[in-house]
Amino acid sequence: MRLSLLLICLLILPTYAFPASITIGSALNRPPYIIEDAESGLEIDIVKAAFKEMGQSVNFKFYSRKRQVLYFNKDRLDAVMTMNPANGVDGYWSNDYVDYTNVAISLAAQHLEIKSIADLKNYSIAAFENARLLLGAEFNAVAQQTIYREVDTQLSQNRMLYLGRINTVIADRYIFTQLNRFVEPNIDTQQALSYHFIFPPTSYRMVFHNSVARDTFNQGLAKIKANGIYQTLVVKYLGSA
């Protein structure tokens, strides 16, 4: 009798059937972290390598941030990359797996004095999407004191800065530099820039619908950090700095 009850309990307990391939929502083209056409880049390759260590295949869908969150909430995605709890999404959060080097960027010819976040209030700003959520309370306060906008397509930041339509851009310095090659040829991207290092690194995680996939990723991530694959990818895409 006891055995029968145990079997019944096991049958009705909720289980998670691990999919043959995990579908992950990624941002649109954001080199060197996300290279959409080649389905590669630092972030993509880290995620692939971590799951490969665990024998799990993955596939990527590329969307804007709003669509990533929408499709995740509708269960059309198993996970979303480049996330932070500040984004307000419910799920199972992975360990940090990548850091972005967000900086303020200005044209050197303007000689802007930017030595702290507070100094930004004196200049117009074009920031990446959700920067006010991710860069802290002080930056959020400054954004309300000046001309401020956020863009969902980061290439537009390059255009605005080089054309003199904005004083400062808030972006990861590697992304900004690599996006220069996609700027129209009639825009001078050879203008000297000033990089103002006023933000700490921004760490990102993945968010999953279930703890099994999250734990699998975390275990694979720990393995590629231990065996050197992670650092090899960092050097490949960002250099040794």
Q: What pLDDT, in 10s, does the model give residues 18-37? A: 668 999 999 999 999 999 99
Residue 2 domain-assigned (yes or no): no
Give the 3-state secondary structure of residue 197.
Answer: coil
Structure tokens at 151: 């863009």
Residue 5 domain-assigned (yes or no): no
82 lies in the same domain as 22: yes
pLDDT of residue 169: 98
Q: How many domains does the chain have?
A: 2
pLDDT of residue 18: 60
pLDDT of residue 20: 80
Q: What percent of the chain has pLDDT over 90?
A: 86
- Helix ranges, the chain (H): 2-12, 42-53, 65-73, 131-134, 137-143, 155-162, 173-179, 211-226, 229-238
Q: Identify the CATH number of the domain in which residue 135 sits.
A: 3.40.190.10
In 10 A of CB 7, how many CB atoms? 10
93 lies in the same domain as 108: no
Q: What residue ranges of the chain have pLDDT lower than 70?
A: 1-19, 240-241
pLDDT of residue 14: 44
Q: How far is CA 44 from CA 134, 175, 179, 205, 241, in A?
A: 21, 15, 17, 13, 20
What does the alpha-carbon distance between residue 17 and residue 205 come to, in Å, rounded to a whole number? 23
CA nearest neighbour of 43 among 154, 175, 132: 175
125 lies in the same domain as 137: yes
Q: Range of 208's domain?
A: 10-99+203-238
The owner of tokens 């004191």 is: 145
Report the predicted TM-score, pTM, of the whole model to 2 decimal places.
0.87
pLDDT of residue 234: 97
pLDDT of residue 6: 42
pLDDT of residue 240: 66
CA nearest neighbour of 233 among 96, 45, 60: 45
Residue 1 domain-assigned (yes or no): no
- Per-residue model confidence as pLDDT tens digits over 201-225: 999 999 999 999 999 999 999 999 9
115 lies in the same domain as 181: yes
Residue 75 domain-assigned (yes or no): yes
Structure tokens at 91: 């799920």
Structure tokens at 184: 């129209």
